[in-house]
Structure 1
């Protein structure tokens, strides 16, 4: 069955289309929409095989609607009914991604021909995406993968993670063409993480979004010495108004055709540009830190995306950064606060280790292998790269002087055995210090209890023994002095149960205050 979505508000056009589609075998209309916004939202959810669009649908121009549908549902074949008999409009629709143009008034043969072409294209594209059909590269070209990183709030490390991952991927996977897009329009700082001389920005590209071409975008990119390409945020904040949702979709669509991997730093604010990038991306990642403020901001971001219909919470990946043992929210607790896909690899708090790389604007200065290994595992888990590389087994060093090697091995074993008693002694001494401090605390409790009992006429010895644990009761001695004060003495327990106590005692004397 070929699922069809129709976008048309003209009742005459709809009546004719229903009649023609009823005669086409296996064609079934799933939805009819009467505005471009409703059509785009419906296509994003239904992912139909064929979309038939009347060019006067509005309010958006037909070419813009076609481009948006192609981004939302890459497997849908689009057919445009050209009622205005406009050659320029038809050409623009074809360039935007339409697979056929039907002139109006329509004929059945014309509709059938264009419908079959769109249906076959849809089947072909669906097979390529699922892997059931091999891509010959002759008709569809490159389809790079877009991954958007968004921060739950500012300062969680989104830019650092996206930038370092882009450089690491290009470095480790030979021949991979990587582009990093800075879409944090208010506070973009990719050029602060890696040194890059900026000539133009994404705002300059967005200004000509209606006539955008691959050459225009390639001319705007900055080629970094690491090998990756950069499309940077505007220097002047007011230029961000040019970066509309439509422009972002066009830019990312053309970047797909030129690069294997496109990483987008989406910033920490839910702007229309960020929402458009999240909508057309293959993967959306939110970076959080294990604290309440970050999780609250994460919840607001998810609610904004869901209200716009761009991405549900279950479709989002969450990367936890700056994890430490002192965190109030544990990793397991974070998993219970969201239905999103929590990435299993956690990034530790690494301010000092990253500081030199940030200050010098050179990620290569970060030489800690665990940091780069963690980024590689995260990339594999979210689909940016292939499975994390398994390190090759380390070859055993050549044996030079067998007897000497055995002697050195034996020496290491002897030294290890010799250290065991010393380590045990240190542990026992630390344990004894703890016991002594604990005995001092309990002796203070016993002295206070004995003083209160003496003041009200009760037995101070019994009160003191009741105030300490059962294991210390027998070692508590209470003496009432001549001036009415009470002295409480407690022996310090030893480390091994059953052994005699140490000769020293802990004693405290408290004055008794007579109650009036």
Structure 2
């Protein structure tokens, strides 16, 4: 059986030299190379969704792959696709990097300039390891295209458009349908989910920021179990501490939550930080809430374009939700779709703040009347996005499988003055 090898190389010259050598290896079947980290993870996710047997046995990652650094990419691949063996190609073959690569999950390291003998030996060894893992897992095993549950981010086109209310109701709907659900407040400076749900808390997302290996017990200590059954991971009470949650920490936190809960809903607020950028980039579904007015729709367009420029998420991979919708307004969902270039949810949330005001003022948004048109719309939206348990054969919509982290890293570099 030929060994399928997927090269991940960003440099054109390196692609040619690597693919030439790979094509000369005995029983090798190189597939079309991918040119960046997100394309690699997307390709593997698509193949894994069909079957673990569709995955290549070997992935060869070049040290200059981008935008995500090679070791972080290897760690992501090893976590999400444990039946794939990864080889790092690098000009630094010293013991320090070798150890770091193995810690990240690589199965081998090949030094530059490439040697046919070394590459052949390493590919053969890693391919045998991969076949052994698949035999142990069993054919058709439940290796998922992601680690565990579904991640949905909710962002606002500007402040006050209803992103937090939307995130809360989506989480409540998912939890009520029987899914284990966590609601995360990633609006780190001004998040207020605790006030909406009348929660007094000591722990917050900041308590996980400095932990490199988030165990289930550590995670359980940080979340607050709400009366509704939904777990809460809240923003810090002191907004300035939000800076402690870096994009790297956010990625670790999201991965830990995804492995523990069926549904992870993250309120990212309306201001983008490195942490929220990481969450949006990693999400299966990214929701952007807007109201049907000129200022908010311009904000939505600006946000979508910024995500695209920073390679966080493409416009067509974002779902806009129209809040406070009325039939009489001049700006309707089809126009918003054309302006932003995004998908627009079929479910629009009606303009009826009076239904919400009492529950919001009392901090009891979870007790919103089931007859409320706003609640009914938001729970219908949860169904549209695939967050509630649906009958057999129902299709999940509104998202894509993602796992790379390129956008958050680009954002961090630009925020720090680079690029």
Q: TM-score, normalized by length of structure 1?
A: 0.62
1:118/1:284 CA distance change after superposition, 3 Å: farther
Alignment pair present for 1:178 and 2:181: yes
TM-fit CA distance, 1:134: 5.6
Q: Determine the C-alpha separation between the residues in 1 that align with 2:213 and 2:102.
A: 13
Alignment pair present for 1:167 and 2:164: no
Match of 1:148 among 146, 149, 153: 153
Q: Determine the C-alpha separation between the residues in 2 that align with 1:68 and 1:142.
A: 10
Is the CA contact 2:292–2:324 (under 8 Å) kept in the aligned structure 1? yes
Aligned position for 2:380: 377
Q: What SS is found at the alignment partner of 2:108? A: strand
Aligned position for 2:297: 295
Aligned position for 2:100: 89
Q: Determine the C-alpha separation between the residues in 1 that align with 2:333 and 2:62.
A: 51
1:59/1:301 CA distance change after superposition, 3 Å: closer
TM-fit CA distance, 1:219: 1.9
Is the CA contact 2:196–2:364 (under 8 Å) kept in the aligned structure 1? yes
Is the CA contact 2:37–2:68 (under 8 Å) kept in the aligned structure 1? no
* 1:7-58 CA distance string (max 9 Å, x none): 599x99x9788535531421246257xxxxxx43553566594532367989
TM-fit CA distance, 1:155: 0.5
Q: TM-score, normalized by length of structure 2?
A: 0.75
CA RMSD of aligned residues (A): 3.9
1:71/1:294 CA distance change after superposition, 3 Å: farther
Q: What SS is found at the alignment partner of 1:337? A: helix
Is the CA contact 1:381–1:387 (under 8 Å) kept in the aligned structure 2? no
Is the CA contact 1:8–1:53 (under 8 Å) kept in the aligned structure 2? no
Aligned position for 1:419: none
Aligned position for 2:108: 101
TM-fit CA distance, 1:62: 5.7
Q: Determine the C-alpha separation between the residues in 2 that align with 1:240 and 1:147.
A: 21
Q: Determine the C-alpha separation between the residues in 2 that align with 1:147 and 1:59.
A: 23
Q: What SS is found at the alignment partner of 2:184? A: strand
Aligned position for 1:340: 342
Q: Determine the C-alpha separation between the residues in 2 that align with 1:311 and 1:235.
A: 30
* 1:251-303 CA distance string (max 9 Å, x none): 11111110000001011122222221111110011011010011100011001
1:41/1:335 CA distance change after superposition, 3 Å: closer
TM-fit CA distance, 1:379: 1.2
Q: What SS is found at the alignment partner of 1:252? A: helix
Aligned position for 1:53: 61
Q: Determine the C-alpha separation between the residues in 2 that align with 1:292 and 1:123.
A: 57
1:162/1:145 CA distance change after superposition, 3 Å: same
Is the CA contact 2:182–2:232 (under 8 Å) kept in the aligned structure 1? yes
Aligned position for 2:238: 236
Aligned position for 1:115: 127
1:17/1:3 CA distance change after superposition, 3 Å: closer
Q: Determine the C-alpha separation between the residues in 2 that align with 1:240 and 1:313.
A: 27
Is the CA contact 2:337–2:344 (under 8 Å) kept in the aligned structure 1? yes
Greater RCO (Cα-Cα under 8 Å, separation 6 or more): 2
Q: Determine the C-alpha separation between the residues in 1 that align with 2:265 and 2:296.
A: 22
5+ residue gaps, structure 2, are 45-54, 393-419
Q: What SS is found at the alignment partner of 1:30? A: coil
5+ residue gaps, structure 1, are 33-38, 390-516
Alignment pair present for 1:271 and 2:289: no
Q: What SS is found at the alignment partner of 1:367? A: coil
1:341/1:120 CA distance change after superposition, 3 Å: farther
TM-fit CA distance, 1:188: 0.5
Aligned position for 2:398: none
Q: Determine the C-alpha separation between the residues in 2 that align with 1:230 and 1:191.
A: 9
Is the CA contact 1:357–1:365 (under 8 Å) kept in the aligned structure 2? yes
1:254/1:300 CA distance change after superposition, 3 Å: same
Matches within 5 A, 1:294-333: 294-333=296-335
1:229/1:118 CA distance change after superposition, 3 Å: same
Is the CA contact 2:290–2:297 (under 8 Å) kept in the aligned structure 1? yes
1:155/1:119 CA distance change after superposition, 3 Å: farther
